[in-house]
């Protein structure tokens, strides 16, 4: 079973399709990079997978389980918000704007969901957060507040938060687009390390060099459709 399967996905805004029959399969441990011009639907695709957007057609499966809907009495009905929240907890998402809580320390930003939502003990969550802070190169920032950090540091905290709960898949929506150019590399390096550690990922980015180095597969979107999908080697070999 693939970790993520997207089948004939449709999403319409004001009568205009942002996603027009998208198929995507992501296997365990695979890193898929989604490329394409601005407005082609990349962000909408990962937001639909994370159930931040309601879909208008098709289906999305996580580990073979249909997301957002259940078959009941012979019909497909939307799940309750609680059930959707439970499904969302099995995924991690990293946004362009880091979305950290400004009034919480770095440590609490990373541990809160693990403790409050996943029921991890405070001690275990803290230990995991400290390990993750080391991994993202911020071992001494546990007690800092987001505003005391650079954008690159904040994004690395957001990445640590997204993996703290051991998600089945990590979704990235242009994780370096809001950063000053000199901070991009430190964030890409952290994502590369996670990819090498075997995490399953879907990464929306404009960073072609990152795609070339890290992706197992590249998906190219235009106007809400996948127009090319290939191994990274083949993708970058073409004239």
Binding site for ligand ADP (CB under 6 A): 13, 18, 36, 38-44, 96, 174
Least distance from C-beta 102 to ligand ADP, angstroms?
20
* Minimum distance, C-beta of residue 142 to ligand ADP, in the bound complex (Å): 30
**Residue carrying structure tokens 């994370």:** 50
Smallest distance from ligand ADP to CB 134, Å: 30
Instruction: Work out how close the CB of 22 gets to ligand ADP at its nearest, in angstroms, rounded to a whole number.
Output: 11
Nearer to ligand ADP among residue 51 and residue 165 (C-beta): 51
Is the CB of 13 or the CB of 101 nearer to ligand ADP? 13
Tokens of 196: 């090498």
Residue number with CB closer to ligand ADP (39 or 139): 39
Shortest CB 59 distance to ligand ADP, Å: 19
Residue 197 tokens read as 């550690």
Are 154 and 146 in contact by the 8 Å Cβ rule? The answer is: yes
Instruction: Between 220 and 235, name the residue whose CB sits nearer to ligand ADP.
Output: 220
Nearer to ligand ADP, 44 or 105 (CB): 44
Q: Which of 151, 235, 162 is nearest to 202 (CA)?
A: 162
C-alpha 191/C-alpha 217 separation (Å) is: 16
Tokens found for residue 184: 């991009």
- The residue with tokens 């991690």 is 92
Nearest approach in angstroms of CB 39 to ligand ADP is: 4
* CB neighbours of residue 85 within 10 Å: 12
Kind of pairing, strands 169-173 and 217-222?
unpaired
Among residues 133 and 175, whose Cβ is nearest to ligand ADP?
175
Closest residue to ligand ADP, based on beta-carbon distance: 43
Which residues 6+ apart lie within 8 Å of 60 measured at CB?
Answer: 4, 5, 6, 7, 9, 48, 49, 66, 67, 68
């Amino acid at each position: 079973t693939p970790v993520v399967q997207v089948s004939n996905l449709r999403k319409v805004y004001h009568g205009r399709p942002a996603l027009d029959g998208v198929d995507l399969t992501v296997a365990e441990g695979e890193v898929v990079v989604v490329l394409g011009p601005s407005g082609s639907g990349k962000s909408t695709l990962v937001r639909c997978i994370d159930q931040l957007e309601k879909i208008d057609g098709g289906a999305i499966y996580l580990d073979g389980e249909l997301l957002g809907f259940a078959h009941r009495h012979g019909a497909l009905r939307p799940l309750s918000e609680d059930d959707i929240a439970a499904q969302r907890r099995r995924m991690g998402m990293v946004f362009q704007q880091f979305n950290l809580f400004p009034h919480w320390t770095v440590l609490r930003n990373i541990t809160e969901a693990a403790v409050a939502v996943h029921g991890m003990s405070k001690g275990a969550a803290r230990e995991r957060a400290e390990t993750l802070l080391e991994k993202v190169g911020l071992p001494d920032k546990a007690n800092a507040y987001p505003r005391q950090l650079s954008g690159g540091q904040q994004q690395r905290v957001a990445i640590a938060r997204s993996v703290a709960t051991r998600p089945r898949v990590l979704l990235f929506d242009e994780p370096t687009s809001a950063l000053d150019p000199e901070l991009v590399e430190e964030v890409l390096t952290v994502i590369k390390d996670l990819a090498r550690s075997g995490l399953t990922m879907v990464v929306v980015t404009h960073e072609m060099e990152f795609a070339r180095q890290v992706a197992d597969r590249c998906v190219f979107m235009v106007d809400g459709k996948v127009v090319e999908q290939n191994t990274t080697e083949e993708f970058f070999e073409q004239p």
